Structure 1
Amino acid sequence: MGNFVNELQSKIERLENEINFKNGLISILSHDSKEMFGTFFLLIEELEQKNISEEDFFKLLPQIKRDAQKNLQTVQDSVTWLKTQYGEFKIKPVKIMVTDLFHYLEERYAAKLKEKNINFYFKGEHNAFLAGDRVLLEYVLDKIFNNAVKYSLPGQDIYLQAITKDDNVVLSVIDFGTGMNEKYLSEIYTYNIPIFLGTAGEKGVGLSLKIVKNFISLLHGDIQIISAENKGTTVSLFLRKFIE
């Protein structure tokens, strides 16, 4: 009886988490769309009624572009997540070499790393192998690494580190950027976290890490974030080691 109750409670918690996640997703999409299109509509109205000059209108376009990029990223993240919930999506566990993931990030972010003069290194076990879905894992690492670049200062280093522990590989993205204080760190997976600007003014919506957490659970792994203000952030993924 005790096992049945525990199993039932576990299922209820899982369902509550899924409902909260979906409600949060809808809330973010709704809020951002209203904010973006509402602001753009108001600006056009102000221009038509000659309350602002064309010069002032065009001065505001870079900010509108940044907001549009943020909202487009939100939609793309949402579509990626929806693919895991509906249709024919299935987890495909394959053997993945951690250094292949390093080279994936190195190539994908070559331009951004050069633009910010950030050095990217691999350290740890070069011959470590994971068992995971490559699509989900690349998405997860992409979002974590994007944050590391966003909140790093020019000239700083970022590491991808792999350490094998028993049947797990701990894959960590380590940066030495702006970091977060304890208050924001404790709220990182909620839907009331404020928007942080990157060190070059990049804007984030805060949705990606929530999807990352969801995807890591689909991979039967775990995620840990350690951060300190002005010292940097370490995001560690606890994933299954590939066993022959």
Structure 2
Amino acid sequence: MNDFINELQLKIERLENEINFKNGLISILSHDSKELFGNFLWLIEELEQKTISEEDFFKLLPQVKRDAQKNLQTIQDSVAWLKTQYGEFKIKPVKIMVMDLFHYLEEKYAAKLKEKNIKFYFKGDQNVLIASDRLLLEYVLDKIFNNAIKYSFPDQDIYLQVITESDEVVLSIIDSGTGINEKYLSAIYSYDNPIFLGTAGEKGAGLSLKIVKNFISLLHGNIQIISTENKGTTVSLFLHKFIE
């Protein structure tokens, strides 16, 4: 009887988390879209009515561009999540070499790393293999690594570290950036946390980590975030080791 109650409670908790996630997603999409298009329409109307000069109009365009980029990222994140919720989507675990993931991130983010003159290093056994869904895992690493760059200052280092523990692999992305204040860390996956700008003014929607946690659950893994304000952040993924 107790087992049945515990299982029921877990199902209720999962459903509540899913409902909260969907409601938060709708709220973000609705709010951000209204804000972006509202600001853009206001700017055009002001220009048409000549209540703002062309010079001031063009000065405001970089901010409009940043807002548009943030909205586009929100939509892309939402689409990625929706693909896992509908249709015939199934997890497809394959053998993945951790070093291949390092090179994937190194190549994809070469321009952003160069912009801040950030060095990216690998720590650990280069021959470690994991069993995971490549699509979801690459998405998760994308979001974590992008945040590591966003909140790092120029000339700082970022590491991809791998540690093996029996049948588990701990994959960590470590930065020495701005870190997260302790009072915000406990609510990192909720919709109550404020949105912080990156060290170069990069803007986000605060959605990525929520989807990351959802994807890690789909992969039957775990995520841990350890962070200290002004000292940096370590995001660790606990994944299944590939066993021949």
Same fold (TM over 0.5): yes
SS, match of residue 214 in structure 1: helix
What's the counterpart of residue 97 of structure 2?
A: 97
User: Could you tell me how far apart the structure 1 residues matched to 2:17 and 2:228 are?
Assistant: 27
Count of residues paired in the alignment: 244
Q: Name the residue aligned to 2:160.
A: 160
The code of the aligned residue for 1:219 comes to: L
Is the partner of 1:85 in helix, strand or coil?
coil
- Which deviates the most, 84-93 or 136-145? 84-93
CA drift of 1:191 comes to 0.8
Determine the structure 1 residue equivalent to 2:29.
29
Q: List, as ranges, runs of 4+ consecutive aligned residues in structure 1 with deviation greater than 6 Å.
A: none
- In structure 1, distance between residues paired with 2:3 and 2:133: 31
Letter in 2 for 1:23: N
SS of the residue corresponding to residue 45 of structure 1 reads helix
Which residue in 1 is equivalent to 2:243?
A: 243
Letter of the aligned partner of 1:205 in structure 2?
A: A
User: In the alignment, is residue 43 of structure 1 matched against residue 43 of structure 2?
Assistant: yes
Alpha-carbon shift at residue 189 of structure 1 (Å): 0.6
1:128 alignment partner in structure 2: 128
- For 2:125 and 2:183, the matched residues in 1 are separated by 34
Q: Which residue in the other structure is 1:60 paired with?
A: 60
What is the rounded CA distance, in whole Å, between the counterparts of 1:8 and 1:178 in structure 2? 41
Partner of 1:214: 214
Following the alignment from structure 1 to structure 2, what is the Cα–Cα distance between the partners of residues 38 and 186? 33
Residue type of the alignment partner of 1:227: S
Using the alignment, how far apart are the partners of 1:69 and 1:222 within structure 2? Answer: 29
The amino acid that maps onto 2:198 is: G
CA distance in 2 between partners of 1:47 and 1:154 (Å) = 37
Equivalent residue letter for 2:77: D
CA RMSD of aligned residues (A): 0.8
Q: Aligned partners of 1:223 and 1:45: how far apart in 2?
A: 47
Which is worse superposed, 8-17 or 43-52?
A: 43-52
- Residue aligning to 1:144: 144
The residue type paired with residue 41 of structure 1 is: L
* 1:176 Cα deviation after fit: 0.3
CA distance in 1, matches of 2:229, 2:9: 37
Unpaired stretches in structure 1, ≥5 consecutive residues: none
Instruction: Classify the secondary structure of the residue corresponding to 2:154.
Output: coil
Tell me, what secondary structure is at the counterpart of 2:145?
A: helix
Which residue number in structure 2 is paired with residue 6 of structure 1?
6
Q: Structure 1 residue 88: deviation in Å? A: 2.2
Q: Which residue of 2 aligns with 1:233?
A: 233
Q: Name the amino acid aligned to 1:47.
A: L
Distance in 1 of aligned mates of 2:139 and 2:160 = 15
Cα deviation for residue 51 of structure 1 reads 1.5
Q: 1:176 maps to which residue?
A: 176
Alpha-carbon shift at residue 43 of structure 1 (Å): 1.4
Matched to 1:38, the amino acid is: G
What are the equivalent positions in structure 2 for 1:63-74 lying under 5 Å apart?
63-74=63-74
| 1:36 shift after superposition | 0.4
1:190 equivalent in structure 2 = 190
Q: Determine helix, strand or coil for the equivalent of 1:131.
A: strand
* 1:67-114 Cα distance to aligned partner (Å, 9 max, x none): 000000000000000000011211100011111100100111111111
3-state SS in 1 of match to 2:189: coil
Displacement, 1:115? 1.4
Amino acid at match of 2:194: P
Please state whether the residue corresponding to 1:94 is helix, strand or coil. strand
Amino acid aligned to 1:118:
I
Deviation, structure 1 residue 192: 2.0
